[in-house]
Amino acid sequence: MTREDLLSAFRDACTRRDYLRALQACRDMLALNGRDAMAWRNMSGIYFALGQDAEALETNRHAMDLDPKDPYAYYNFGALASRSEKYDDAIRWFNKVVELAPDIGDGYLGLATAYLKIGDTGNAVFNFSQAYQRAPENPDVARGFGLALMEIGQLPKAEYYLRQALEKYPDWAELHMELGEVLRLLGEDRDAVAELLAGLRVKHKPEGLVSLSRVHLKYKEPRKAIPHLHRALQLAPNHAPAYHVLGLALAAEKDWPGAVAQFERAYALGQDNAEYVLDLANALVNAGVDIERAHRLAAAVQIKDSANPRAHDVAGWCLFRLGQHQEAHQELEKARALIEVKGTRQPSDASIYEHLAEVYTAFKDGMMAREMYARAIESDPSRREEWARRGQGA
């Protein structure tokens, strides 16, 4: 076979993801010419796809020695650095790709992916946009662009690009689950569940199981969520969101000691996550244990973000449970002022009104207690009967 025949066989095998056949095509090309830089570089890419990073690194060095201006050899080094989580090195390699070949999208795609991994969403979005301008037909570019846009809250645009990628690869399980998460955030729960299940039927991934569990919790179905979350933790024992959402499910079941245990694990894995901190503090106070620590946790969030209404709510509830009613009232009224500026009430606002109602009941101010219960009902009508009864008691 000629080199052109072998190159055609290589490309066909890659399209079919038949990497062993592609690897053999590279070896056959090198048998014809051991100094074929493209064959060495392509072999490196195949070893990378097979997860054989040492072989990928060695064969790519041969390619670089033979052709030091091949942008794809630099790309391979960048991909290997990214997989090793050496993102600064990856960014350096991918910048070299852009320098050598500014008109192709791969260098920008590598840069964008590395920036997204280190949390630099601004540079990620910029480089994904550059990659998309050059390679709009590449589903990896569309997928990455969608995920970056999801990170910055541009959910309709994120949905557009993820659907575009899914048109090219309709059996891509992870992509179905990522689209499902975007739809969940958009409140399109029926479509979200359909996409999540489409992905989970092919492959169980902790992210997809957590997203599906969040939908169950929204509809007050914690018992349906709990098995999914246990499965997620079997797959990924250090997946903090799974511990966190499992804590939420147990809290919904009023299993406060169990919730504390799961929130502690989430907090240990993500101590800078304000949501984890506040949910742990809230569970501690509801479990009636270590309320002083719960107050310290909430106060720490207040210091970092004084405009966080939930931080004031949890701090106020801690103070109330510690018997400091006046101080609790001040914190909870701060929380109320922050949520009422928005103009629209959310179900998550209901706990602030509920806690304020408890404070006003302790003050023997029945009129204000009833008003707070009424606002709690407006925020979360699912607990109307309970709060109406308590309001009448007040």
Q: What tens digit of pLDDT does each residue of 229-284 get?
A: 999 999 999 999 999 999 999 999 999 999 999 999 999 999 999 999 999 999 99
**Inside any domain, residue 359:** yes
**Inside any domain, residue 380:** yes
Residue whose tokens read 């169990």: 258
**Inside any domain, residue 370:** yes
Contact 347, 356 (CB under 8 A): no
Please state, in angstroms and rounded to a whole number, the distance separating the CA atoms of residues 75 and 220: 48
Whole-model pTM: value is 0.85
Percent helix, percent strand, percent coil in the chain, to nearest 5: 80, 0, 20
**Inside any domain, residue 371:** yes
**Inside any domain, residue 353:** yes
Contact 225, 213 (CB under 8 A): yes
Residue 120 tokens, joined: 């630099």
Q: Provide block-wise average pLDDT over 10 residues at a time, the chain (394 residues).
A: 92 91 94 94 95 95 94 96 96 96 95 94 96 95 96 96 95 96 96 97 96 96 97 97 98 97 97 96 96 97 95 97 96 95 85 95 94 93 86 76
Q: What is the pLDDT of residues 205-239, one digit of tens each?
A: 999 999 999 999 999 999 999 999 999 999 999 99
Element (H, E) at 247: helix 240-252
- Name residue 245's amino acid: V
**Inside any domain, residue 301:** no
Please state, in angstroms and rounded to a whole number, the distance separating the CA atoms of residues 71 and 86: 19
Closest CA to 335 of 319, 351, 347: 351
pLDDT of residue 383: 86
Q: Which residues contact 117 (CB under 8 A, 6 or more apart)?
A: 82, 85, 87
Structural domain including 370 reads: 344-394
**Inside any domain, residue 311:** no
Q: What is the pLDDT of residues 88-125, one digit of tens each?
A: 999 999 999 999 999 999 999 999 999 999 999 999 99
- What HEC string does 204-216 produce? CCHHHHHHHHHHH
How many domains does the structure of the chain reveal?
1
Residue 367 tokens, joined: 């009129």
**Inside any domain, residue 241:** no
Please state, in angstroms and rounded to a whole number, the distance separating the CA atoms of residues 320 and 334: 15
Closest CA to 211 of 184, 191, 246: 184
Residue 38 tokens, joined: 């493209």
DSSP secondary-structure letter at 342? S
